[in-house]
Amino acid sequence: MEYRTLGKTGLRVSALSLGTSPFGGVFGEVEFEACKRCLDTALDWGINFIDCSPFYGLTKAETMLGRTLRGVAREKYWLATKVGRTGEADFDFSAARVTRSVDESLARLGVDFLDIIQCHDIEFGDLNQIVEETLPALREVVKSGKARFVGITGLPLRVFRDVIARAEVDTILSYCHFCLSDTTLETLIPTLQSREIGVISAAPLAMGLLTRGGAPGWHPAPESIRDACRHAAQVCAQRGTSIERLAVQFALNDPDIATTLVGSSRSEEIEQNARWAQEPLDEELLSEVEAVFAPIKNQTWPSGRAENDD
Ligand code: NAD
């Protein structure tokens, strides 16, 4: 496993990391034994960064992850979770709520501290509140020793530009913007690097779009993107490989991205991804697939308040 430095945090994170939204049943029902196998497989393969949120499965993912972490030495992994998003349409970025949320997460996860605490999907909030109230409250959490670093997450890249211009953040977590069909995260990298902000990229399989099974019903992508993904999957199959393999290898190929979170509740997939991470990218196949994506390249979907969207 390759390790990269996560900006000013100095954390040496595995290039491939573990997203645990599937532990909350986001991609289908899941049992404890399956999640435990996922965690053990990830650690065995050198994955050392784990991301969660109280939102995933409405606290189920944190509870499940906490159970799987029981008995695992705390120094074996870096742990990140989030505050602010409590439901599909429920957000509360107030200082009081996010401070309480950290304590609730620590209890569910069964740990004394978090490595990174992140404001979840800030495009749904008032960015002035994030800058003036939420981030200062999380700095207090850091002072109390319950977390080490503070980050922000979201879909529209614009929210990162806006907030980092006005506040100190240690990491950003962007999703679906560095994958085969969308590489717009690259436009933000020089700014992030100049500020030494750690770059976490999530969902290189575009939350299931870039898989042979296709995206789950709740996926927000329009039909044009879904069609292109199905076509790209066929091209990979015709070349005797899978879209997942190309997608994972592509995402891990950029050294400016410290870590890429892939979600799974299937240990076989985690092992497969870790193996793929060690192989070279098939540049010829990549060109073919990029041609398929050319008509919809960098297209995305709306998220959050209109004033915060790109
Ligand atoms: P993803 O792109 O990682 O795709 C996950 C899906 O791909 C699951 O259905 C999984 O079973 C499948 N998969 C994984 N490896 C596979 C393989 N080898 N073969 C076939 N299928 C495979 O999407 P995700 O899980 O939504 O994103 C990764 C993580 O990033 C999340 O779990 C979460 O921790 C984080 N994330 C954060 C935000 C945010 O903060 N707003 C948004 C999205 C994701």
Of 262, 265, 267, 278, the one to substitute when testing ligand 1's pocket (max ligand atoms within 8 A of C-beta) is 262
Q: How much distance in Å is there from the Cα of 9 to the middle of ligand 1?
A: 24
Whether 156 contacts 115, CB under 8 Å:
no
Cα–Cα dist 5/29, whole Å: 34
Index of the ligand 1 atom closest to the CA of residue 52 = 34
Index of the ligand 1 atom closest to the CA of residue 210 = 2
Nearest CA to ligand 1 atom 36: 202
Tokens coding 134: 């939420």
Cα–Cα dist 165/68, whole Å: 38
- Quick: pLDDT tens for 100-132: 999 999 999 999 999 999 999 999 999 999 999
pLDDT at 259: 98
- Quick: pLDDT tens for 65-109: 999 999 999 999 999 999 999 898 999 999 999 999 999 999 999
pLDDT at 187: 97
Residues with CB under 6 A from ligand 1: 19-22, 27, 51, 120-121, 153, 173, 175, 202-208, 211, 244, 261-264, 266, 269, 272-273
Q: Is residue 292 pLDDT above 80, yes or no?
A: yes
User: Minimal CA–CA distance to 66: which of 37, 36, 21?
Assistant: 36
CA pseudo-torsion sign 193, 298, 201, 239: negative
Q: How much distance in Å is there from the Cα of 186 to the middle of ligand 1?
A: 20
Q: How much distance in Å is there from the Cα of 6 to the middle of ligand 1?
A: 20
At 111, is the secondary structure helix, strand, or coil?
coil
Q: Which residues are catalytic?
A: 56
- Quick: pLDDT tens for 231-245: 999 999 999 999 999
Q: Is residue 310 pLDDT above 80, yes or no?
A: no
Of 14, 64, 109, 205, the one to substitute when testing ligand 1's pocket (max ligand atoms within 8 A of C-beta) is 205
pLDDT at 27: 78
Cα–Cα dist 2/241, whole Å: 23
Which of 147-161, 182-196, 207-221 has the weakest average pLDDT?
A: 207-221
Index of the ligand 1 atom closest to the CA of residue 21 = 32
Q: How much distance in Å is there from the Cα of 263 to the middle of ligand 1?
A: 3
At 134, is the secondary structure helix, strand, or coil?
helix
Pairing type for strands 78-83 and 114-119 reads parallel
Q: How much distance in Å is there from the Cα of 164 to the middle of ligand 1?
A: 26
Tokens coding 16: 């491939």
Whether 17 contacts 262, CB under 8 Å:
yes
pTM score: 0.97
